[in-house]
Amino acid sequence: MSLTLAFDVYGTLIDTQGVVSQLEAWIGDRASGFSQCWREKQLEYSFRRGLMNEYKNFASCTRDALEYCCQSQAVDLSEAQKQALLACYARLPVFADVKQGLEALQAQGHHLYAFSNGTAEAVDGLLSHAGVRDYFLDIVSVDEIATFKPDPATYRHFLRRSSSKAEQSWLISSNPFDVIGARNFGLQAAWVKRSDGAVFDPWGVEPVVTVSGIPQLAAYLK
């Protein structure tokens, strides 16, 4: 049976730690910690804006989070360096398993969508640069309804845009908050555990399946 698959992008298909190499040139062995702080604050700002109903797009959250990390970690980056880091977000790499997995899922007849907190324009450019845009029927962005995952409205919006039913739709994400949000809404969901040390939030809501990469999801759904 063909399923509708909604792929989270940042952290699931795209490696947000791809900025580390650029950071290392400027701040050395502090780069990894800085990058992690940036990612965590980026997500926190999206959550807070969603709760406050004070929407600004994901690029704005990313920009504000970078400013916070520079201040909190006492890293003095020039404006040109900050702009270079933000530009890195337009050309982050996919994880090594992604193309093989997407190709297998497409061959199985599933309907693949990118479903992101990022704007459709940003995600389109990112996936195109990474060479995986053609696997997706469409890009569904929360920007279209001015809120962020895991707001239930975002999953409802996805079903509407993809003309799919909850019982036939899967959310695939490396972010536990996204998986829990989707399961809470009534979607099927797979957690992509991208590192051995990743911990799923102990909320009593579990993914249908946990996989280490996209090919393992294809094997499960075959």
Cα 222 to its chain centre, rounded Å, is 24
Distance CA 160, CA 36 (A): 34
Q: Is 87 helix (H, G, I), strand (E, B) or coil?
A: helix
C-beta of residue 151 within 8 angstroms of C-beta of residue 118: no
Distance CA 118, CA 142 (A): 7
* Catalytic site includes residue 8: yes
Distance CA 12, CA 125 (A): 16
Distance CA 2, CA 97 (A): 22
The active-site residue out of 8, 15, 143, 178 is 8
Catalytic annotation, residues: 8
